[in-house]
Structure 1
């Protein structure tokens, strides 16, 4: 076969691509359980963070300390006080950012009056711009905010957007307001 011809280049490229694709597929299959476990750990850590549970030993006993309930298709995570009353709730939030999905969790007090925290587990915003939504200074400003039914959160009232990332900032605020609206609708079902 002539190494200078087009056919050789096409065949060589095909076999090289097939070889490296096979290596990648085998590697992914071998490490699938590790990948899945790591993804579950990311979600558990995010849930504990929005519930304001800093203790690493608590993470080790996640299943014993955090109750997972399903309301329709939505999962709700609850930490209980020693007397059996709910201490706080964590709710998943999913929505669209500028470049892709934004997924995370919010923490809400047991009486649904305060936002305890916000944590992202997935976002595809531009690094250095919209990706700054995952920085601690941005997420921290959502802790301790009073929740008032029918009154959405807005920037400028103790909450700052990311400079140069208006679309990503607005996407987060819209996602948060939509999630809070859904959460408040569940209040009667979850309240003791």
Structure 2
């Protein structure tokens, strides 16, 4: 038995040492890159939110800890940020919400007005939708997007998706991207699941009248 154990260590010591070394290298790499990745995420949020709430000069979290929002029967922490203009007044609210797309998760930066009554729009923080079809949810109004502009001024509440209609009319009815109904619905479903619970939580916390 002792010979077998000795043989095992003779044959596997290099593998065990290599595993420890690689593990340490991965941990060191993660520690080195994590702050940079987090800062890049913050910078991208600020860039997207700032493009939606153009009057906001800076964004501040409404609480020291993320607000606990019940979404789909689960309690999810959400870092709701207040967009402040040059005089320190609330220009609007912004937050990240997440849902299931056609190919992967979609993560959106959503902005609404100061009264939390109308959307200022959304930007895509992450998506992996089908190129040429579902990924059209990424195209901004400035880049000639068909889908995103429909949400600018849309009411905060229950949005519905339609395959036909006038995309120039801003209301609760959103016209789907041709050939990308699933991705179009994913955005609408995600917004419907997150916006109202966040609004209600802000009211409950006395942060919104």
Assess same fold via TM > 0.5.
yes
Q: Hey, what does 1:5 align to over in structure 2?
A: none
Deviation at 1:53, TM superposition (A): 4.8
Q: Hey, what does 2:116 align to over in structure 1?
A: 112
Deviation at 1:71, TM superposition (A): 1.8
Alignment of 1:157-172 (within 5 A): 158=167, 159-172=174-187
Deviation at 1:82, TM superposition (A): 5.3
Q: Hey, what does 1:142 align to over in structure 2?
A: 151
Paired residues, what number? 161
Preserved CA contact (<8 Å) 1:105 1:120: yes
Alignment of 1:30-179 (within 5 A): 33-53=35-55, 58=57, 65-69=58-62, 70-72=66-68, 73-81=77-85, 84-136=88-140, 137=145, 138-147=147-156, 149=157, 151-155=158-162, 156=165, 158=167, 159-179=174-194
Per-residue CA deviations over 1:38-58 (Å, capped at 9, x if unaligned) read 33322221222232358xxx5
Segment of structure 1 superposing worse, 155-164 or 99-108: 155-164
Preserved CA contact (<8 Å) 1:49 1:117: no
Unaligned runs of 5+ in 2: 1-17, 69-76, 168-173
Question: In the aligned structure 1, how far is the partner of 2:161 from the partner of 2:80?
Answer: 25
Preserved CA contact (<8 Å) 1:50 1:90: no
- Structure having the higher helix fraction is 1
Using the size of structure 1 for normalisation, the TM-score is 0.70
Deviation at 1:92, TM superposition (A): 1.4
Q: Hey, what does 2:207 align to over in structure 1?
A: 190
Using the size of structure 2 for normalisation, the TM-score is 0.65
RMSD of the TM alignment (CA)?
A: 2.9
